[in-house]
Amino acid sequence: MSRYQRQLVLPQFGPAGQARLLAAKVLVVGAGGLGCPVLTYLAAAGVGTLGLVDGDRVAASNLHRQVLYTDADVGQPKARVAAQRLQALNPDVAVHPHPEFLTAQNALALLAPYDLVVDCSDNFATRYLVNDAAVLLGKPFVFGAIHQFEGQVAGFNLGPLSPTYRCLFPQPPAPHQVPNCAEAGVLGVVAGLVGLYQANEALKILAQLPGVLDGKLLTINLLDYTQRIIKLRLVIDKSQVRLLPDYEAYCQTTTTTPVMQTISAPVLAEALAAGQPWFLLDVREPWEHDLCHLPGAHLAPLGQLAAGLPALLAQLPAEGLVAVYCHHGVRSAHAISFLRQHVAPARLFNLTGGIHAWAEQVDAEMAVY
C-alpha cells in the first residue's frame, strides 16, 4: 500500500486500477531510448509481469538517453542489465529478459503470453513485425517513434475496429529515406519524454482509464512544444495479415529506388593509396567534419547542398569518380539521389558505412564519434 499510495488515491485509479496493473503482463520490444523510460515507469507503477526483448549490447553512444545503463555496462546485453535494474527498483514485478532480436521466427511465441505490447523499436522492419504479430494474436500495442526533436505515440489494435500501424503507414518508406538517430541525431530528453508518453498510454490501457489514443496519433514537437492529435481509421483487412519471412527485405524492396553504386572503405583506401583521383565529398555538418574527415575531402552539408550546388559543381573535376560519405551512409545516399540529377550517376559512389566504417576498417586512430 505504501509503495503505490500516490496512485491509489487517484479517484480514476484506486485499488481496482492497481489490481489490474499487478495482474497485467506487458512485453516491451526494445530496451533503448524509448524502452528505458517505459520499462522504468511500468515497473515502478507495479505492472505485475514485464518482458523485454532486445538482442543488442550497451554501447557508449547509448548512455546519453538510455538511462537504465551506466558506463560499467558497456558491452553487456541490454536485456539482462535492464532486467537487473528493474528487479532492484521493484521486487514485486516479475521481469523476463529476452536477449534476442524480434524475428518472424520468434515473434508469435514471444508476444503470445502478454496482454499488451509496447513497441520501442528503432527500425521499420521491427515495427511492421510487431504490428503483424500483434494483429494475428489479437494483442493491443502502443507505438512510439522519435526523430531529432519530434515524437509520435499511438495506440493500435485495441479492438476489432481499432486501426493498426499499417493503417498509418501501409508501406515502409524507401531505403535511406528516413535517417535513424545515429544519422539525424536526437536529444536524450526527447527519447525520455516520448517513452513516458508511451508508458502513460500503457498504464491507461491496463488500468482502463479514459482518453486512450485508440485510433489517434499524437505528434509532439519539443522545440516549440506544439502537439497535434491526428485521427486514424481502419483501412486494412486484419484477417488478411500474415507474417512475412523477412521483414528487413520487405522494408528494403516495397518501394523502388534507383540503383546506387557503393564503395567499401578498404577499396576506397586502396584506390586513394594508388593515386586514383577520387573527389571526396563530405555531406555531414561542419562540427562533424571538424571532429574527423578524410584527407582532402570537400565539405558540403546535406541541408545546404541545393543552395551550394553551383559552387560545388564548379569544384568538381570534369571527369573522375566521386565518393560521397557521411557518418553511416544515410545522408550520403540522400545526397547522391539529389546529385544524380546534375552529375552523371556512373560517377557517384556512396561510401558504405560512412566514416564510421572507415575508422573501423581503415584508420583505427581516427577519432570517430
Cα-to-chain-centroid distance, residue 168: 17
CA dist 237 and 216 (Å) reads: 19
For residue range 187-231, list pLDDT tens digits in order: 889 999 999 999 999 999 999 999 999 989 999 999 999 999 999
Q: Which set of grid coordinates corresponds to residue 173?
A: 518508406
Cβ(53)–Cβ(28) below 8 Å: yes
What would the mean pLDDT of 242-269 be, rounded to a whole number?
A: 81
Q: Which CA distances in Å does 210 have to 139, 202, 205, 234, 334?
A: 19, 12, 8, 21, 43
Nearest to 81 by CA among 48, 118, 36: 36
Mean pLDDT of 257-273: 87
Predicted confidence (pLDDT) at residue 175 exceeds the cutoff of 60: no
DSSP for 95-156?
A: EEEE-S---TTTHHHHHTT-SEEEE--SSHHHHHHHHHHHHHHT--EEEEEEEBTEEEEEEE
Q: What integer best gives the mean pLDDT of the chain?
A: 91
Binned at pLDDT 50, 70 and 90, residue 256 comes out as very low
CA atoms within 13 A on the CB side of 57: 5
Look at the domain 262-361 and name its fold.
Oxidized Rhodanese; domain 1 (3.40.250)
pLDDT in tens, 5-48: 999 999 999 999 999 999 999 999 999 999 999 999 999 999 99
For the chain, first and last CA: distance in Å? Answer: 47
Question: How far, in Å, CA of 209 to CA of 201, rounded?
Answer: 9
Is 254 within 8 Å of 343 (Cβ atoms)? no
Q: Which whole number is the average pLDDT over 84-98?
A: 96
Q: Among the CATH numbers 3.40.250.10, 3.40.50.300, 3.40.50.720, 1.10.10.10, which is that of 5-253?
A: 3.40.50.720
DSSP-assigned states of every residue in 3-29: TTHHHHT-TTTHHHHHHHHHH-EEEEE
Domain boundaries, the chain: 5-253, 262-361
Task: For residue 180, give every residue at least 6 positions away whose Cβ sits within 8 Å of its Cβ, in sequence order, or none.
Answer: 122, 123, 328, 330
**Mean pLDDT, residues 160-171 taken together:** 92
Distance CA 53, CA 369 (A): 27
Per-residue confidence at 337, pLDDT binned at 50, 70, 90? confident
In this structure, is the dihedral angle defined by the CA atoms of residues 17, 23, 29 and 34, taken in order, positive or negative?
A: positive
Residue 144 has pLDDT above 80, yes or no: yes
